[in-house]
């Protein structure tokens, strides 16, 4: 039923030209900077309604506005974003291929729920990629690269020190994302991000807000040290082990939070 900010104030939502300011979560045209002529052209050329809907839904899913397992109603989404159902359906197809939603014929689309087994698999794939990342970076490490990474680690430690869970999680994601980005391999980056997106889906599902926060700044420090020292194999192993250790921490946290709030479960499989 799409139980977020309800678009109950439907009324004239269909008449779109005049009431543009009324609807709240519309697909906002991201053209805040004023005098950018050529830039705006490139943006309009690349942005179609389906693409914008896709981006917006992806943002909502990853932000947790749309909890895993919730149903996405075509008409509701279309109404909410001020478009018709066509572009919404196209966005759904893209999101399914990217692994964020699941389509059931004649039943609807649902935000995907990642099982423990699948999260395990993803962690393994991610570990394999990250090992490569570690080796690659250890080969091409420069002083400024190392300096940037150390700054990242420090930020994480600061956040962990003051118990700021959100800041720590964010910094952690950024640190690892930056590592992959620094390899300069764009394909590796998109592959990695796709996996991490699904992993985030899983994290939100289970340990929605388990108080415990698995800190692993020591491992991060070790990773950067190996990279800085140019120890190729060791850097790769450090990252591999770190990811696999994160997997274990996930298991621990999950086992602890098992008796947590009773979620309405999902639909019954048949």
Partner DNA sequence: CGATTGCAGATTGTTGACAATCTACACCCG
Partner DNA sequence: CGGGTGTAGATTGTCAACAATCTGCAATCG
DSSP three-state, residue 165: helix
Q: Give the residue, chosen from 48, 139, 140, 142, that forms a contact with a second copy under the rule CB under 8 A.
A: 48
For DNA, the closer of residues 27 and 243 by Cβ is 27
Judged by beta carbon distances under 5 to 8 A according to partner kind, the member of DNA, a second copy, none in contact with residue 216 is none
For DNA, the closer of residues 26 and 158 by Cβ is 26
Given phi > 0 = left and psi -120 to 50 = alpha, else beta, which region is 28? beta
User: Does residue 10 interact with DNA by CB under 7 A?
Assistant: no
For DNA, the closer of residues 56 and 130 by Cβ is 56
For DNA, the closer of residues 47 and 217 by Cβ is 47
Tokens of 78: 């279309």
User: Does residue 89 interact with DNA by CB under 7 A?
Assistant: yes
Q: Residue 217 and residue 223: Cα distance in Å, rounded?
A: 10
Q: Of the candidates 92, 84, 110, which has an alpha carbon nearest to the alpha carbon of residue 1?
A: 110
User: Does residue 196 interact with DNA by CB under 7 A?
Assistant: no
Q: Which stretch binds a second copy (CB under 8 A): 26-34, 98-106, 214-222, 254-262?
A: 98-106
Give min distance, CB of 205 to DNA, in A: 21
Binding residue count for a second copy, defined by CB under 8 A? 33
Judged by beta carbon distances under 5 to 8 A according to partner kind, the member of DNA, a second copy, none in contact with residue 71 is DNA
The residues that touch a second copy, with contacts defined as CB under 8 A, are: 45-48, 50, 86, 89-91, 93-94, 96-98, 105-106, 118, 121-122, 124-125, 127-129, 131-132, 185-188, 191, 194-195
Residue ranges binding DNA (CB under 7 A):
1-2, 14, 16, 45, 48-50, 71-75, 83-87, 89, 103, 105-109
């Amino acid at each position: 039923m799409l139980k977020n900010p309800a678009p109950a104030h439907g009324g004239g939502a269909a008449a779109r030209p005049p009431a543009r300011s009324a609807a709240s979560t519309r697909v906002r045209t991201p053209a805040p900077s004023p005098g950018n002529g050529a830039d705006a052209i490139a943006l309009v050329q690349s942005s179609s309604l389906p693409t914008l809907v896709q981006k917006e839904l992806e943002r909502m899913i990853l932000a947790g506005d749309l909890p895993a397992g919730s149903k996405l109603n075509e008409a509701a989404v279309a109404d909410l974003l001020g478009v018709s159902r066509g572009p919404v359906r196209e966005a759904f197809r893209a999101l399914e291929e990217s692994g964020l939603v699941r389509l059931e014929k004649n039943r609807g689309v649902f935000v995907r729920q990642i099982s423990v087994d699948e999260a395990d698999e993803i962690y393994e794939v991610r570990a394999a990629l990250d090992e490569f990342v570690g080796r690659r970076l250890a080969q091409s490490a420069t002083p400024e690269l190392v300096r940037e990474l150390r700054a990242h680690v420090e930020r994480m430690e600061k956040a962990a020190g003051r118990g700021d869970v959100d800041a720590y999680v964010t910094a952690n994601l950024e640190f690892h994302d930056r590592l992959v980005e620094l390899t300069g391999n764009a394909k590796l980056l998109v592959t990695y991000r796709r996996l991490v997106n699904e992993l985030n889906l899983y994290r939100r599902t289970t340990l929605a807000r388990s108080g415990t926060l698995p800190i692993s700044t020591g491992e991060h420090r070790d990773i950067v040290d190996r990279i800085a020292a140019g120890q190729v194999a060791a850097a790769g192993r450090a990252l591999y082990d770190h990811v696999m250790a994160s997997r274990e921490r996930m298991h621990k946290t999950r086992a602890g939070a098992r008796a947590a709030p009773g979620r309405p479960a999902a639909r019954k499989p048949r």
